Amino acid sequence: MIRLLGLFLVAALTVAGCATTPPAVGPDGRPLPKAYVIKPGDEGRVTYSMVDSVNTLRGASGAAPLNLNSQLTAAAATHSRDMAVQNRPWHFGSDGSSPLLRVQRAGYPGMMLGENISETYETELETLSAWMDVPDTRAVILDPNARDVGFSWYQEPSGKIWWTLVTGG
């Protein structure tokens, strides 16, 4: 009898070990999001995913594609890191600089046309989708006068990502 009870206990523990835990859900009943982690070596993939997606959206609206510009990208990278230092998403630098001044400092010879920013744990494509849902940020992406784009981000150890996209022409 004890042997039978022991076998039953082992079987019960084995079956219990096979059970899966349902994902944690938020107040809306949907699974909680996981932080999107950009690993070393993913920089090119993330950048070109964004630029290619922006150009696809621009093409669908009849606008010319944007060229990735290193000076605009440098201005975007500087601002992404600065927003993280300030711990707030906004268009002004900790030194009071505007997007226009940051683009000039980076040596961009054209005119800065727009800047989109975001503070999130989401992917670049989820961020682009959110920008497309807001008329002001959508206008920056689809501006027919834009010819160049800079795109960068800064990811904190917590996983929070500070995204910046800058357009120029």
Q: What is the pLDDT of residues 10-23, one digit of tens each?
A: 444 444 445 455 56
Q: 152 by DSSP, 3-state: which?
A: strand
- Say yes or no to pLDDT of 88 above 80: yes
Q: Percent of the chain at pLDDT above 90?
A: 76
For 136, other C-beta atoms within 10 Å of its C-beta total 9
Helices and strands of the chain, counted as H and E runs: 6, 4
CB within 8 Å of 53: residues ≥ 6 apart: 124, 125, 128
Q: Per residue in 111-167, pLDDT tens?
A: 999 999 999 999 999 999 999 999 999 999 999 999 999 999 999 999 999 999 999
Angle (CA) 90 96 102, round 5°: 80
Token pair recorded at residue 22: 């349902």
Q: Which of 166, 169, 163 is nearest to 46 (CA)?
A: 163
Confidence category of residue 32, pLDDT binned at 50, 70, 90: low
